[in-house]
Structure 1
Amino acid sequence: MYESRIAADRLTVTAVEGFPPEIDALAARNLAGHSFLRAAWYAAPAPKAGRTLLLRREADGALLAAIPTIPFGPAMARARKVPGSYWPLRSPLIAPDCTAVELAHALDRRLNREVARSLGPVWRVGPARADGPATTLLIAAAQLAGWSVLARPAGTSWVIDLAAARTRGWPSAASARKLRAAWRKLEALGTPRWRHVRGAEWNSGVLENLGRIEAQSWIGQTTDGSGAKFMTPAQRAVWQNALGDPVLAENLSATILLLDDRQVAFSFDLDDGAVQYGIAGSYADDLKHLGIGRLANYRAVADAIAEGQSVMDLGVGDTGYKRMMGAVAGYDMVDLLFVHSGTAAALLAKAWGPALPAPSPATLAITPEQAAHG
């Protein structure tokens, strides 16, 4: 661990090995609003490879930012990235009252070698929400600290307005008929039923069962399986690590469709207050003609509506079935690369994407809390 105090601004920057408990405290009140961005969330992909940069106000010890990173790319490049269990939700933690100027101190490589080592000469954030206040502030602070920020599009996330769906009734009459027909087809083959897993009900056996469903799906039958979440021990280990945190175990849920004793489809989701993120879903390919994937997806939405949530965020890609469920384009995702060397930035921009323009004076002067209140 190394501390650097900036007396004029009364700030303390600390480089810490691993994923310290301070992360959990800031997760409860971070600018992005994601309470699940806890130490276990960041640590899940590489529990022993983490390094975290912490920024505090010295006067009261208030934590202003936490930037966890793990190695990224070839070791010789010394690049780092902000990790996360689920790829669209990889963002540093920033307190709502942290300014761009304050955050820039934590990103300034001139402070000391330990801070430089925490971020490396190149570090990645994303994919992340392009219009998120935490993303906007991070970009401005990094540029102020001398980093070039390269950006490339990472798709558009599709969302369902659950509040509107609750008002008009879910599902539609036409969809309800199709779902009932699918259920009757399953009843002709056996006894269909639902299983819901959350909190203390999570265990390695559940993850293995989800992996078996993926192995029977198109992703297991026609691809190399790299896009699966549970098929391999390594893929399951990421989620097993995250689920070791009781808070995350409550946030994460699985809606599983069984036919007799066979588990044939699932929806794997993340609750974040009023928002539910659809992380993954899969179904046995030999039963796809029975609409089992649709049944699992619609059940997850119906449960979210019943629990009072406002938005179902289905992520990027596969727009066909999402449109059918009533999803619309919600917001753009961006993949960011922070490069300290101007020469390296110019070279990397050819493959990654162009450098973003410098921040406006308003971005640097107005705190996120002030901006939120107009």
Structure 2
Amino acid sequence: MYHARIDYDAICDVAVERHAGVSGQIDHLADRLPATHGFLRAAWFGSSDCADAATLVASRIDGTPFAALPTIGIGPSLVGARIVPGSYWPFRSMPLAPDATHAELKAFLEHPVTLQSLGPIWRLGPIYADDPATRALKQAAASAGWTVLVRRLGHTFLFDTGGGWPRSSTRRRLANYARQLDQQGSVRYQLVRGTDWNDAVLDDLATVEQASWVGRATDGTGAKFMSAERREDWRRVLADPALADALTATILRVDERPVAFSFDLIAAPMQYGIASSYDDDFAAFRPGKLVTAHQIGIARDLGVERIDFGAGDSGYKREMGAALGPEILDLLIVRHRSAASLLKMKWGSESEIAREAYRAANAVRDAGRESAGRRRFEAWITIGALAAAAISFAE
């Protein structure tokens, strides 16, 4: 770890420390976040075993941390690009204290330690457009001289657990599917949570995925448990008791064979749907719908009022009564303006909120501060950043 408590800190009343790996200090911030964001703990971001993993922690002069930013390197090392790691869904937002001010966040993002650690380009996403942290980050980053590019990933779907689902007709269909499935063997549902998690459960989830259309008709990149590497990632997450208690698996078994599951993150009153799958051999009995209906009942009992079903597959979600939720964004935050201009072709347009903040801040900057040497450096970064964006940032 190294830190900077220099004259700059005295001016901006913010101290920034860089910790090797994914710092446990993230958990102290997570405990102060709203319940919907409390899962943003050190173990969630994982990658603590990456040689170049690092965490920036920003604190007030009294020592109270207000922001944490874990990153790992991505792409050619010469470029120095970074990315916030962790599970892709539901999101990878930066742990940010609810009372953090624009001035504090700006000072963090323009701090010398931050600039040295993040390099010329870094990525944060997916992240929700309506998240207060998203707006605060975009505005502060732009005010600190960064350019914020936005890739739009669609919208999530939100389901109100008190909305009257399932309807009578849906109940009858589900009961019919359940009767047909009963004829195939002994049926039971298993809820896994907290200390129930173990390697055998993760292997069962992988078994279902391997027997699903994802396992049979694709290269498996969309699967959450099929590969040993993915299961190891989840083991790291589940080693945190708080996250093990928040993550649930609802498994439908026929003669003890796992045939469907729903994998969810409970952050009551919200629940995030992360993954679901079913064995294609049982498709005629709609095991996916059966396990979903059962899981929603569990969620209600656990105090969940709203379920975030994520993006995609809008047909069945709308049929259940889910409504279009917030837009999902992927942010690419670029230090040099000219590099960002070219990266737009590969990534997406500049954030409107960030652009206005950048212009306002730029009006008080010294227009002649850049030397010829810095402009030459910027040209090299532009080339490298384009290569990194084209090759490395897609997931």
TM-score (norm 1): 0.91
Partner of 1:259 in structure 2?
Answer: 254
- C-alpha deviation, 1:45, in angstroms: 7.9
Which runs of structure 2 are paired with 1:191-340 in the superposition (5 Å)? 191-340=186-335
The gaps in structure 2 that reach 5 residues or longer are: 362-395
Partner of 1:3 in structure 2?
Answer: 3
Count matched residues: 355
Residue deviations 1:158-210 (CA, integer Å, cap 9, x gap): 01011x32xx3x42111111111111001111111101100111011110110
- C-alpha deviation, 1:341, in angstroms: 1.1
Letter aligned with residue 135 of structure 2:
T
SS for the counterpart of 1:75 is coil
Percent sequence identity is: 44
Partner of 1:371 in structure 2?
Answer: none
Decide whether the 8 Å contact of 1:278 with 1:313 is kept in 2: yes
Out of 69, 80, 83, the residue aligned to residue 82 of structure 2 is 80
The CA distance in 1 between the partners of 2:249 and 2:37, in whole Å, is: 20
The CA distance in 2 between the partners of 1:73 and 1:156, in whole Å, is: 28
- C-alpha deviation, 1:84, in angstroms: 1.9
The CA distance in 2 between the partners of 1:291 and 1:235, in whole Å, is: 27
SS for the counterpart of 1:314 is strand
Decide whether the 8 Å contact of 1:31 with 1:133 is kept in 2: no
SS for the counterpart of 1:240 is helix
Partner of 1:99 in structure 2?
Answer: 101
Partner of 1:151 in structure 2?
Answer: 150
Label 1:3 to 1:31 Cα distance change in 2 as closer, same or farther (>3 A).
farther
Letter aligned with residue 129 of structure 1:
Y
SS for the counterpart of 1:171 is coil
- C-alpha deviation, 1:49, in angstroms: 3.9
SS for the counterpart of 2:204 is helix
The CA distance in 2 between the partners of 1:25 and 1:55, in whole Å, is: 12
Which runs of structure 2 are paired with 1:22-61 in the superposition (5 Å)? 22-30=25-33, 33-44=36-47, 48-58=51-61, 60-61=62-63
The gaps in structure 1 that reach 5 residues or longer are: 365-374
Residue deviations 1:314-352 (CA, integer Å, cap 9, x gap): 000111121122211111111110000111101101110
Moved more, 88-97 or 126-135: 88-97
The CA distance in 2 between the partners of 1:174 and 1:106, in whole Å, is: 55
Letter aligned with residue 13 of structure 1:
V
TM-score (norm 2): 0.86
Please report the RMSD computed on the Cα atoms of aligned residues, expressed in angstroms: 1.9
Decide whether the 8 Å contact of 1:53 with 1:67 is kept in 2: yes
The CA distance in 1 between the partners of 2:334 and 2:297, in whole Å, is: 44
